């Protein structure tokens, strides 16, 4: 939050590039204000590009290391506060007030997150409460029973409070809680040996119940250069017809997947 508050922005008087501007704090921006963002500057608010085009580093939000193009008009005009313009310039109209941006909501979500107890910890808490109550009742009943036994036998001395307190301390199962923490640490250590960093014992327990792991981190975990390999037509659809439709749909797609579909379609449409 402190880094975001320190951003100074150029608020434009008119919604176009080169208009006279006033340097203000990013927290003073309001919905509908227009700002000018140049290369190497941080976009101060969520908004839409109304003029210009630039490459934007959105790794702080999406985790993708490759810059993306944001330009006025079309489907690529939305920008997120906290991202950085890498080149050129853009004029942005704010669409959210301070505190309502995507980054602010994400920060608030992280700050307000509380660690929940694992199922084992919940079960252990219930067990400890039950055992403590039972052992406390057993210890408390020893004093009147001791007094009654001494009076009935006429010899000996009743058990003292000091002995009862010492007995209760010895009986309370305090070591079970420490044992659960040790088990969690051991599990995290074993995962670390497999190059997996566990953030909590709950994560270790949840990993034991996972059947399918879906990863979407292109370029880091998954391969960011996927290629089309074959066309599988649906029932009643000819393979040549499918290849022709796929090629037409992917002609304007500049992604590696789109280009590979065009190449595969051309190969499929070539006469044998």
Which tens digits make up the pLDDT trace of 248-266?
Answer: 999 988 888 889 999 999 9
- The CA distances from residue 29 to 11, 81, 106, 170, in Å, are 8, 12, 19, 63
- Domain 218-271 in CATH 3.50.50.60? The answer is no
Tokens 């501007």 correspond to 21
Which residues are marked as active site?
216
The answer to whether 45 touches 29, Cβ cutoff 8 Å, is: yes
Q: What is the pTM of this model?
A: 0.47
CA–CA distance, 111 with 65 (Å, rounded to integer):
25
- pLDDT at residue 92, rounded to an integer: 92
**Domain residue spans in the chain?**
8-112, 128-208, 218-271
Please state, in angstroms and rounded to a whole number, the distance separating the CA atoms of residues 137 and 61.
Answer: 56
Q: Does domain 8-112 have CATH number 2.70.150.10?
A: yes
> 111 pLDDT band (50/70/90 cuts)?
low
Burial of residue 76, with CB atoms counted within 10 A of its CB: 0-12 exposed, 13-18 middle, 19 or more buried: middle
Identify the sign of the CA torsion 80, 81, 87, 92: positive
Percent of the chain exceeding pLDDT 90 equals 15
Show Cβ contacts of residue 141 under 8 Å, excluding neighbours closer than 6 positions.
none
Q: What's residue 220's pLDDT?
A: 64
Do 54 and 24 form a contact (C-beta atoms < 8 A)? Answer: no
- Nearest-5° angle of CA 263, CA 265, CA 269? 120
Domains 8-112 and 218-271 share a fold: no
**Predicted local distance difference test score (pLDDT) of residue 155:** 81
* Residue partners of 157: CB distance under 8 A and separation at least 6: 150
CA 68 vs. chain centroid, Å, equals 21
Say if residue 174's pLDDT is above 80: no
Average pLDDT of the chain? 83
Question: Is the pLDDT reported for residue 224 higher than 70?
Answer: no
Question: What pLDDT does 93 receive?
Answer: 92
Can you tell me the mean pLDDT for 56-84?
Answer: 84
């Amino acid at each position: 939050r402190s880094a975001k508050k320190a951003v100074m922005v150029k608020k434009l008087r008119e919604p176009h590039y080169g208009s006279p501007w006033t340097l203000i704090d990013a927290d003073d921006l309001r919905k509908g204000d227009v700002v000018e963002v140049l290369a190497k500057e941080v976009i101060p608010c969520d908004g839409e590009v109304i003029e210009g085009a630039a490459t934007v580093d959105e790794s702080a939000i999406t985790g993708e290391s490759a810059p993306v193009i944001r330009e006025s008009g079309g489907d690529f005009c939305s920008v997120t506060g906290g991202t950085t313009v890498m080149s050129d310039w853009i004029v942005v109209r704010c669409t959210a007030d301070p505190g309502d941006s995507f980054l602010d909501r994400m920060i608030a979500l992280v700050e307000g997150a509380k660690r929940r107890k694992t199922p084992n910890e919940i079960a252990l808490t219930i067990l400890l409460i039950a055992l403590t109550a039972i052992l406390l009742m057993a210890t408390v009943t020893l004093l009147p029973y001791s007094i009654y036994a001494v009076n009935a036998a006429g010899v000996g001395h009743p058990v003292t409070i000091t002995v009862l307190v010492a007995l209760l301390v010895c009986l309370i199962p305090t070591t079970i809680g420490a044992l659960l923490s040790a088990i969690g640490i051991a599990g995290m250590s074993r995962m670390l040996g497999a190059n997996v960093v566990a953030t909590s014992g709950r994560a270790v327990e949840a990993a034991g119940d996972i059947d399918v792991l879906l990863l979407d981190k292109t370029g880091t975990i998954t391969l960011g250069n996927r290629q089309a390999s074959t066309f599988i037509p649906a029932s009643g659809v000819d393979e040549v017809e499918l290849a022709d439709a796929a090629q037409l749909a992917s002609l304007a797609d500049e992604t590696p997947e789109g280009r590979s579909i065009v190449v595969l379609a051309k190969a499929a449409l070539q006469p044998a």
